[in-house]
């Protein structure tokens, strides 16, 4: 039975699924089908295995038990589970941030050969936000002090994180009043694990409030540090052309693919791939050169800063191997399916894991640390070149598409002439109705890329500017929305504004940690208007989310005052109290709510309605639309 047309809207995806079927290699969709029916208790969030008196479950039909062995009811169990998802997501982003801070600290001490401070201007600017003066110091001295101050943000010696001061004053006050101002980054995650231990916090509301604080420690802490330090070390992104989809692989070159999240590894791999000595070596082995491509968020990091081509998003990571054209896939951490090495074993692709905290069956482990990363990068690239001789037939099913990436807030504000005012003016005049951040993953429960692409299309048609990150950003690039010509898909107002700036109607804002760029832009708009983020005509969406990181992102976006529509339902439906609080009650608490709508056509209607409503409340339009 072939169902490949139902799994993805992408041509490369459809053709490669077909190829994997004929090669008899299992895909994520096969494994998803094999899991059906998935556990209904877990789906509703009603199962608990936090302690050894359990596992327990609550009967959603009210006939069986209504509480676990300890007495926890549906509300407590659902809230605790959700809180733990946030904690895991916040931990993942923040630990990624910590790894960058460690590199910054080692650069300061000259212990990380190959790494350097690239954006001194940004270094000094961020340092000033931490109260560190740059005058009379070398960049390395500033970097050392900044790394130290950021490490303090991770601990417990502060009452508030340093970068929360970027949020509008009103928002900061609200967080203080609600007692959800994030203190230490690790502290909030640690406290989430403590509170959700058996016999600690059994108030479902207080659990959820702490979940918001934990998420804020990610958004205005760990992820924000990750993005800022990445910009300092590797450069603040500027708009630059790139290519996307499986067609970026080259039949006559050594193809090296990086997958994962942290640019600490991928930047060094890029440097090795671009060394003329390595190109020469590849040519000696009969290849025309070395072609480095990205997958997922580490791919986005390289795309944003260097225009490195993007082979695909989350659900393309297995399929791409079936091209038979990849000599080596180098992974670090997060979103790397352990299935990948099984797929790779059917072709000639060498799989390399690089992080001391992320092992995978069937991968060769070459551990990268800041002090040896440059050497390790050369070692693996040489091995990739050697592997070119083992290549069999290749199948690269499509031609690549053009896209533009690199829209940091600095680049956007720069394009606007140095201030966000022109964007505000376009919003006030109604040419742009508002803006939506579309973020997150792919999930085999939703047709691959259908959610991202459909929602984006509907929003830009209706003059809503879209900024996107992560796998969503890759989806819309593959759909052709990230070129200047894509304004032909936009409504008249958005078309005019983007046309005059020469930018696409859908702006690539980066990887998932770069969602903080959306927070920073939203805060700048609110500050320019002298209001709070929750008053702006903005919305967020995660149409195909799957990961715990996405739960943390959704929670910090809502806690920052932005209405957010999720595609897949999170595992909370077992508690109507939790559902009501997240979809309604939070409006009175943080000025924004969640909605869940798997159909992107309907999600677009929700977002348009919200944005028009916000405009009316701000007094931008005389009449309700
Ligand atoms: O951090 S969007 S599938 S790759 S979690 Fe993962 Fe989701 Fe992709 Fe990036 Ni983000
Ligand atoms: Fe069961 Fe309570 Fe233990 Fe959870 S914490 S497994 S509900 S006894």
77, 79, 193, 195: which to mutate for ligand 2, most atoms within 8 A of CB? Answer: 77
For the chain, how far is it from start to end, CA to CA, in angstroms? 47
Instruction: List the structure tokens of 376.
Output: 């390790």
- % of the chain residues with pLDDT over 90: 97
Residue 35 CB: number of other CB atoms within 10 A? 10
- Which residues, at least 6 apart from 551, have a Cβ–Cβ distance to it below 8 Å? 82, 85, 86, 89, 545, 570
CA angle 543, 547, 551 (to 5 degrees): 75
- Give pLDDT, residue 625: 46
Provide the pairing of β-strand 254-259 with 326-331.
parallel
Q: Return the C-alpha torsion angle 152, 158, 164, 170, nearest 10.
A: 180
In sequence order, the β-bridge partners of residue 348 are none
Confidence grade of residue 300 (pLDDT, cut at 50, 70, 90): very high
Residue entry with tokens 């966000």: 420
Q: Measuring CA to CA, which residue among 182, 185, 184 is closest to residue 210?
A: 182
Calculate mean pLDDT across residues 303-315: 98
The predicted pLDDT at position 156 comes to 82
Atom of ligand 2 lying closest to residue 56 CA: 1
Determine whether the shortest distance from the Cβ of 569 to ligand 2 is under 6 A. no
Ligand 1 centre and the CA of 123: distance in Å?
Answer: 27
pLDDT at 621: 85
> What's the average model confidence in pLDDT over 369-381?
98
Q: What is the pLDDT of residues 156-214, one digit of tens each?
A: 888 999 999 999 999 999 999 999 999 999 999 999 999 999 999 999 999 999 999 99
| Ordered alpha helix ranges (H), 429-560 | 450-461, 470-478, 492-501, 515-529, 548-559
Residue 157: predicted pLDDT: 82
**Averaged over 257-267, what is the pLDDT?**
98
- Residues in CB range of 12: below 8 A, 6 or more apart: 245, 246, 247, 312, 316, 319, 397, 398, 478
Residue minimizing CA distance to atom 3 of ligand 2? 51
Taking only the tens place, the pLDDT of each residue in 564-618 is 999 999 999 999 999 999 999 999 999 999 999 999 999 999 999 999 999 999 9
Pocket of ligand 1 (CB under 6 A): 261, 296-297, 313-314, 335, 440-441, 470-471, 511-512, 547, 549-550
Tell me: the pLDDT tens digits for 68-123?
999 999 999 999 999 999 999 999 999 999 999 999 999 999 999 999 999 999 99
Q: Which domains does the chain have, with CATH numbers?
A: 74-234 (1.20.1270.30), 240-390 (3.40.50.2030), 406-618 (3.40.50.2030)
CA 332 to ligand 1 centroid distance, Å? 13
Q: Is 234 exposed, middle or buried (0-12, 13-18, 19+ CB in 10 A)?
A: buried
State what percent of residues in the chain have pLDDT above 70.
99
With the C-alpha atoms ordered 550, 555, 559, 563, is the resulting torsion angle positive or negative? positive
3-state secondary structure of 541: strand
Distance 260 CA to ligand 1 centre (A): 9
Please give the average per-residue pLDDT across 284-291, as a whole number: 98
Q: What's the pLDDT tens digit per position in 467-523?
A: 999 999 999 999 999 999 999 999 999 999 999 999 999 999 999 999 999 999 999
* Residue range 410-449, pLDDT digits in tens: 999 998 989 999 999 999 999 999 999 999 999 999 999 9
The β-bridge relationship of strands 56-57 and 47-48 is antiparallel
Please report how many Cα atoms fall inside a 13 Å half-sphere around the Cα of residue 392, on the Cβ side.
9
- Predicted local distance difference test score (pLDDT) of residue 5: 67
User: What are 384's two structure tokens?
Assistant: 């990739």
Q: pLDDT by residue (tens digit) across 320-361?
A: 999 999 999 999 999 999 999 999 999 999 999 999 999 999
For residue 577, give the nearest of 75, 80, 83, 85 by alpha carbon.
75
Q: Please, what is the average pLDDT of the chain?
A: 97
Please tell me the predicted confidence (pLDDT) of residue 158.
Answer: 86
pLDDT at 622 over 80: no
Strand order in the sheet with 506-510: 506-510, 464-469, 434-438, 538-542, 564-566, 594-596
Nearest residue by C-alpha to atom 3 in ligand 1: 441
For tokens 């929750």, the residue is: 534
């Amino acid at each position: 039975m072939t169902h490949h047309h139902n799994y993805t809207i992408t041509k490369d995806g459809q053709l490669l699924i077909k190829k994997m079927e004929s090669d008899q290699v299992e895909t994520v969709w096969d494994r998803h089908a094999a899991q059906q029916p998935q556990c209904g208790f877990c789906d509703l969030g009603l199962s608990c295995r936090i302690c050894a008196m359990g596992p327990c479950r609550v009967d959603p039909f009210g006939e069986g038990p209504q509480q676990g062995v300890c007495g926890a009811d549906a509300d407590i169990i659902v809230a605790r589970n959700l809180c733990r998802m946030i904690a895991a997501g916040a931990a993942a982003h923040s630990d990624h941030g910590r790894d960058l801070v460690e590199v910054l600290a080692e650069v300061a001490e000259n212990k990380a050969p190959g790494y350097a401070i690239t954006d001194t201007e940004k270094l000094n600017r961020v340092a000033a936000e931490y109260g560190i003066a740059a005058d009379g110091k070398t960049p390395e001295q500033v970097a050392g002090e900044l790394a130290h101050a950021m490490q303090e943000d991770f601990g417990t010696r502060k009452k508030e994180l340093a970068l929360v001061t970027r949020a509008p004053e009103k928002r900061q006050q609200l967080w203080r009043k609600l007692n959800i101002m994030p203190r230490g980054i690790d502290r909030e995650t640690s406290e989430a694990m403590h509170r959700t231990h058996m016999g600690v916090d059994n108030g479902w509301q207080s659990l959820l409030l702490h979940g918001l604080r934990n998420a804020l420690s990610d958004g205005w802490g760990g992820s924000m540090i990750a993005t800022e330090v990445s910009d300092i070390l590797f450069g603040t992104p500027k708009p630059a052309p790139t290519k996307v989809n499986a067609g970026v692989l080259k039949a006559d070159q050594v193809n090296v693919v990086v997958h994962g999240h942290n640019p600490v590894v991928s930047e060094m791999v890029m440097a090795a791939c671009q060394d003329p000595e390595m190109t020469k070596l590849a040519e000696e082995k009969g290849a025309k050169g070395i072609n480095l491509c990205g997958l997922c968020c580490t791919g986005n990091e390289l795309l944003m800063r260097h225009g490195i081509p993007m082979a695909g998003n989350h659900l393309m990571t297995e399929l791409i191997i079936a091209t038979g054209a990849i000599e080596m896939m180098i992974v670090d951490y997060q979103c790397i399916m352990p299935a990948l090495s099984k797929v790779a074993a059917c072709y000639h692709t060498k799989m390399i894991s690089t992080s001391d905290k992320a092992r995978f069956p069937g991968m060769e482990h070459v551990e990268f640390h800041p002090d040896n990363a440059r050497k390790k990068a050369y070692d693996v690239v040489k091995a990739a070149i050697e592997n070119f001789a083992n290549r069999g037939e290749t199948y690269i099913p499509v031609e690549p598409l053009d896209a533009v990436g690199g829209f940091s807030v600095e680049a956007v504000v720069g394009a606007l002439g140095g201030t966000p005012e022109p964007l505000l003016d376009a919003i006030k005049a109604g040419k742009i109705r508002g803006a939506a951040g579309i973020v997150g993953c792919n999930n085999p429960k939703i047709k691959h890329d259908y959610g991202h692409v459909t929602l984006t299309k509907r929003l830009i048609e209706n003059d809503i500017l879209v900024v996107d990150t992560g796998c969503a950003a890759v989806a819309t690039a593959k759909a052709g929305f990230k070129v200047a010509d894509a304004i032909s898909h936009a409504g008249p107002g958005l078309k005019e504004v983007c046309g005059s700036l020469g930018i696409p109607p859908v702006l690539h804002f980066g990887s998932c940690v770069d969602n903080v760029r959306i927070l920073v832009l939203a805060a700048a708009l609110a500050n320019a208007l002298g209001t709070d983020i929750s008053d702006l005509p903005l919305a967020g969406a995660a149409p195909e989310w799957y990961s715990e990181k996405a739960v943390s992102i959704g929670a910090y976006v809502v806690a920052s005052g932005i209405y957010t529509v999720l595609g897949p339902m999170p595992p909370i439906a077992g508690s109507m109290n939790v559902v009501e609080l997240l979809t309604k009650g939070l409006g009175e608490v943080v000025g924004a709510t969640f909605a869940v709508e798997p159909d992107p056509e309907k999600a677009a209607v929700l977002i348009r309605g919200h944005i028009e409503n916000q405009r009316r409340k701000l007094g931008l339009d005389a009449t309700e639309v």
